[in-house]
Amino acid sequence: MSVNKYYIAALDNLKAKRKASLALFEAQKERVYEENPRLSEIDLEISRNGAGLALAALSGNKAKMEEIRSVADKLSAEKQEIFKKANLFEPVPECPVCKDEGKVGGKFCECVKFRARALMSEELGSEMPLKDSTFESFSLDFYSDKTENGVTPKKRMTQIFKSCVEFANDFGKEPKNLLFLGEAGLGKTHLSLAIVNEVMSKGYEAVYSPAGTLFDRIEKEHFAYSGSEDFLDTVLNCDLLVIDDLGTEFSTQFTQSTVYNIINTRILKGKSTILSTNLTIEEIKNVYNPRICSRLVGHYDVKQFAGDDIRLKKALLK
């Protein structure tokens, strides 16, 4: 689905919801009219009063006009009282800005942009193996008790696991950023997706993507010359962004600039981000410019994963 289609889908969704709300109101209104014959009488009297008011206005009879208006006000009040007792109220638009029309001044309203980002996030989320990547399915049994550099892999991973659970449980209280370091197969992706799973279950907007896919899509959008950067907007503004395998993207001046833009903008906006990479800190310093490294060191909680390739261990057990 192209970015424009997200907006069209969001607009159609908004209009359909509004149409359904109005249809329900009209059906309830019809029922109330059937149960209260007096309403039809009031409508007829109001119609007659309207004609009388027009004649009074033509003749310039101000006293008669005020008399008719007073009667009309009483009839309207009586009508509203019947509606109130029947618990019938006009549907209130969800968006006070566009009144659920979807556009303001010929441009998409912010409510449509939000819905479009949510649809984009939902589609991206559908590509994630969330059912297979939960905290419950993460096993610490695959990590060794053998001491390495003064600590066992199991102990270190137990601490990291607990911090990830805490991150997910506390999400929304204050922005936090995580940087997962370690070789392939140590559980970085699994724990990232487990956090996404929990965060999305709370109703937050989360975007997960491998680095190569993410930057490739942003670059194609940027150089499409359509004047639209809605995917990048989603990446910059979603509640949680997870970029997996950072460092595997094709490094260009554009990607370097985009990495910095994403990291720096989300820090300034107070948006949480999780980055995972197979690179070491020294390798990160060699791949990315000092501005990016400075942001990572100053604003990210670094988690160094330990152990042996879990995927290989699982494969040997089959």
pLDDT 10s digits, 139-182: 998 898 888 777 899 999 999 999 999 999 999 999 999 999 99
Secondary structure string (H, E, C) spanning the chain: CCHHHHHHHHHHHHHHHHHHHHHHHHHHHHHHHHHCCHHHHHHHHHHHHHHHHHHHHHHCCHHHHHHHHHHHHHHHHHHHHHHHHCCCCCCCCCCCCCCCCCEECCEECHHHHHHHHHHHHHHHHHCCCHHHCCCCCCCHHHCCCCCECCECHHHHHHHHHHHHHHHHHCCCCCCCEEEEECCCCCCHHHHHHHHHHHHHHCCCCEEEEEHHHHHHHHHHHHCCCCCCCHHHHHHHHCCEEEEECCCCCCCCHHHHHHHHHHHHHHHHHCCEEEEEECCCHHHHHHHCCHHHHHHHHHHCEEEECCCCCHHHHHHHHC
- Note the pLDDT of residue 228: 60
* pLDDT < 70 regions, the chain: 1-5, 117, 120-131, 225-229, 313-318
Residue 16, number of CB atoms within 10 A of its CB: 10
- Note the pLDDT of residue 3: 43
Rounded distance between C-alpha atoms, residue 255 and residue 208, angstroms = 18
Q: Buried (b) or exposed (e) across 207-239, using 16+ Cβ within 10 A?
A: bbbbbbbbbebbbebeeeeeeeebbbbbbbbbb
Structural contact between residues 310 and 187, judged by C-beta atoms closer than 8 angstroms: yes
- Note the pLDDT of residue 187: 93
Task: Say how far residue 272 (Cα) sits from the centre of its chain.
Answer: 13
Rounded distance between C-alpha atoms, residue 35 and residue 190, angstroms = 59
Q: For residue range 292-301, what is the model confidence (pLDDT) as tens digits?
A: 999 999 999 9
Rounded distance between C-alpha atoms, residue 214 and residue 224, angstroms = 16
User: Does domain 127-317 fall into CATH 3.40.50.2000?
Assistant: no
Partnered with residue 178 across adjacent β-strands are: 274, 301
Rounded distance between C-alpha atoms, residue 263 and residue 276, angstroms = 13
Q: Tokens in use for 200?
A: 């999305």
- Note the pLDDT of residue 315: 60
Q: For residue range 216-229, what is the model confidence (pLDDT) as tens digits?
A: 989 988 887 655 66
Residue 194, number of CB atoms within 10 A of its CB: 23
Q: Which residue has the tokens 């600039």?
A: 257
Start-to-end Cα distance in the chain: 38
Residues in the chain, overall count: 318
Taking the whole predicted model, whether its pTM rises above 0.75 is answered as no
Strands 103-104 and 107-108, by their bridges, are antiparallel
